[in-house]
Amino acid sequence: MFQAAALVLSYPDEELISRLDVIEDALAGTSAADRFAPVLEHLRGLLAEVQAFHVQEFDLSRRHALHLTYWTDGDTRRRGEVLAGIKGVYRESGLVVDTRGELPDHLPIVLEFAVADPKRGAELLDQFRASLELIRLGLAADHLPHAGVLEAVCALLPGESPRTRAEVQARFGEARPVEFVGLDSLGMPGDPGFRRDDREGVRA
């Protein structure tokens, strides 16, 4: 399921569109099938429109930022240290992790890593559980078709998902030394996204 989530959360290109039937077949009969149905239907639209939608919702706006450290560290100095820690996890795995020009905390990359190294990947996802829940809540609030994908991802992690941002902070805030700097950004449409020239690859 993590592999399917990684694919449908990535920038939609022709290769992804050609694999939609395979993804749907792989999910058939699983508890995640219904949750993925809206995004699969969405991705079967006109490619140019689907790509423009992705750029608008995930690149140009931080309301649904898929960079996990954004939600816990924002644009702070500490964020660089946390990103370096993620790179360290990739190196320890012994795998070559292709970030495709993204920061190492980009959710599709972390999900793919969780497929290749289930133990370390699950630990990373659990480390950033607050980020995942905040993304999930934002997608659901804005009725984006990708919301079910985050629901399916969070459903595979320990414990029930919080119902509100306040519950996210109450559950995870005291357990972590960082302030949830991304909380307010859920209500700030149109924030500029991350500059692509700031992103780097990681060789594990």
How far from chain centre, in Å, is Cα 67? 6
Of 46, 35, 42, 48, nearest to 5 (Cα)? Answer: 35
Cα–Cα distance for residue pair 12/18, rounded to 1 Å: 10
pLDDT value, residue 191: 34
Cα–Cα distance for residue pair 108/2, rounded to 1 Å: 9
Burial class for 195, CB neighbours closer than 10 Å (0-12, 13-18, 19+): exposed
pLDDT value, residue 142: 96
Cα–Cα distance for residue pair 2/122, rounded to 1 Å: 10
Q: What share of the chain is helix, strand, coil (3-state, %, to 5)?
A: 60, 0, 40
| Cα separation values, 12 from 67, 69, 171, 187, 193, Å | 17, 23, 34, 26, 18
For the chain, give the number of residues. 204
pLDDT value, residue 184: 43
Mean pLDDT by 10-residue block, N- to C-terminus, for the chain (204 residues)?
A: 97 97 96 97 98 95 92 84 94 90 95 96 95 95 97 93 87 52 40 32 42
